[in-house]
């Protein structure tokens, strides 16, 4: 059998193009993108703000906040916190709006629905 060929008869193979073009799959993609794109853009802007301020606003970033901790340190730690918050937020979004839809599509593709 050639590499990449399936032993399944052609009639039993899922029609991936049909699924991809279905309204159900389109709704799943919209639900994912409606979260991922705006949050990604917001995080990139936040990241570049930190980088630009670090490069061009040294006096501001060097301002002491608490003891020897300055604004640059606080912003740096906030980058990590933001990353974890976004990951947690996305997992909640996926559980609420994506997982059930994706599972339904998967079951239909696998012939269980």
Q: What is the pTM of this model?
A: 0.75
Distance, CA of 43 to CA of 36 (rounded, Å) = 10
For residue range 5-64, list pLDDT tens digits in order. 555 555 566 678 888 888 998 999 999 999 999 999 999 999 999 999 999 999 999 999
* C-alpha distances out from residue 91 to 53, 70, 86, 103, Å: 31, 32, 9, 15
């Amino acid at each position: 059998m050639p590499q990449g060929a399936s032993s399944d008869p052609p009639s039993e193979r899922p029609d991936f193009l049909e699924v991809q073009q279905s309204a159900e799959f389109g709704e799943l993609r919209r639900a994912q993108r409606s979260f991922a794109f705006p949050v990604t853009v917001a995080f990139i802007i936040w990241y570049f703000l930190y980088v630009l301020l670090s490069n061009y606003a040294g006096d501001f970033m060097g301002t002491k906040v608490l003891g020897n901790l300055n604004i640059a340190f606080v912003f740096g730690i906030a980058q990590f916190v933001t990353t974890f918050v976004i990951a947690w937020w996305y997992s909640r979004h996926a559980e609420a709006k994506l997982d059930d839809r994706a599972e339904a599509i998967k079951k239909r593709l696998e012939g269980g629905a």
